[in-house]
Structure 1
Amino acid sequence: MLRFAKTLAVALMFVSAAVSVSAQSFGTPRATPILTVDSDRMFVESAFGMRVTQDIEAEQSVLLAENRKIEAELEAEEKRLTELRADMEPGEFRAVADAFDERVQGIRVQQDGKARAIAETRDDQRALFFQAAQPVLTELMREMRAEILIERRTVLISSNAIDITDRAIERLDAALGDGRDLLENP
């Protein structure tokens, strides 16, 4: 009789494990008080994040092309000034050279400002994404009966079963799309 009870207990353990694995493989959320998410991956792999990355790369490409054009123009002007130097008085050349240097510094400040504006746009878009993501992530937590959502990078060791990054990306794509609606309707 004891042998039968042990066999039954082992069989029930296997059935319970099979049901648990089966439920997990079909995407049934299981209750866990703690969930993790990789927020960088969530942003970068979402439609919103991909659109922002594409927009920023396009702006950076335009700025880079503009910088190359300006650089070529300034190099040509510098070469012309160097050639004129022999025919100019030292004081006259110094004034022209100083004006050129001042213009170059002004252009550098202007172009650096454009680069900072692009970086600020990226940061603002990222902040907008995470603000819009909060209700979606809160709903996922509620559905999974979780109490806390932790950044995956801050966890030393965890089970992949508590990582909801892929699920969050799917939900965010469905809720936010590429985020253009948020820009049009602030």
Structure 2
Amino acid sequence: MIKIKSLIKVAIAVAVAAALWLPSLPSSAQDSAAIPVLVGIVDVQKVIASSAAGQSLQKQAEQRRSQIQNDLVAKEKQLRAESDQLNAQRAQLAPADFQKQALALQEKLKAWRQEGEQKRKGFEKSYNDAQKTIFQTLQKVIGEIAVQRKLTLVLNKSVVIVSAQAWDITDSALAQLNKVLPSVKM
């Protein structure tokens, strides 16, 4: 999952820094910099999970996981069959021939494990890239909503304990994200 916790920590750090910095300004600077605080709250995780793009990503991920798993299981069955066949022929083979074939089988097993690891890494990269696309698009959408509603602060609902329902822009963010990014390719 995108580093939402990191984003939350950054938002909190900025808010704390702003709170610490503003009181240190001269009173004339505080007066001229007095900006009304208009707050928006977004349930980022809900929007990402509920969005058309988020759901299409989950569907693609499930399909790809299943395909990778099926491919690896099929190859594993093939390698097990080769191993069983080799063990059954052990008595009829010369020790050097058996050793040669056993080493060849071990190389196939090693290649199978490496292939599985490469597929796993490729899957994770594709998934993370698609999630990043959704998240970046959501950030733009939230920025546009903030400008339209003249919000000066937008927080992730996960860091808010209590808020006014009127501040919640989650549904607007979801609707706008669905318009802007109806799907994402993994």
The reply to whether TM is greater than 0.5 is yes
The residue number in structure 2 matching 1:111 is 116
Equivalent runs, 1:153-164 vs 2, <5 Å:
153-164=158-169
CA distance in 1, matches of 2:121, 2:112: 14
Q: Which amino acid aligns with 1:76?
A: A
Structure of greater Rg = 1
Percent of paired sites with the same residue:
25
Equivalent residue for 1:124, pick from 117, 126, 129: 129
Equivalent residue for 1:166, pick from 171, 174, 183: 171
Cα deviation 1:135-175 (Å, max 9, x = unaligned): 21111112332212222223344444433222211111122
Preserved CA contact (<8 Å) 2:37 2:153: no
1:106 positional shift: 0.7
The residue number in structure 2 matching 1:55 is 60
The residue number in structure 2 matching 1:86 is 91
The residue number in structure 2 matching 1:148 is 153
CA distance in 1, matches of 2:149, 2:101: 71
Cα deviation 1:15-60 (Å, max 9, x = unaligned): xxxxxxxxxxxxxxxx962222222221111111111111121111
The residue number in structure 2 matching 1:24 is none
CA distance in 1, matches of 2:148, 2:60: 34
Unmatched runs of 5 consecutive residues or more in structure 2: 1-35
CA distance in 1, matches of 2:76, 2:64: 18
Seen in structure 2, the aligned counterparts of structure 1 residues 157 and 83 have a Cα distance that, compared at 3 Å, is: same
1:122 positional shift: 0.8
RMSD: 2.2
Asked if 1:65 corresponds to 2:70, the answer is yes
The residue number in structure 2 matching 1:11 is none
Equivalent residue for 1:100, pick from 81, 96, 105: 105
Asked if 1:138 corresponds to 2:143, the answer is yes
Number of aligned positions between the proteins? 151
Please list every run of at least 4 consecutive aligned residues from structure 1 whose deviation after the TM superposition is greater than 6 angstroms: none
Equivalent residue for 1:177, pick from 178, 182, 186: 182
The residue number in structure 1 matching 2:40 is 35
CA distance in 1, matches of 2:37, 2:53: 28
Preserved CA contact (<8 Å) 2:40 2:167: yes
CA distance in 1, matches of 2:165, 2:151: 15
Unmatched runs of 5 consecutive residues or more in structure 1: 1-30
CA distance in 2, matches of 1:90, 1:165: 70
Preserved CA contact (<8 Å) 2:56 2:183: yes
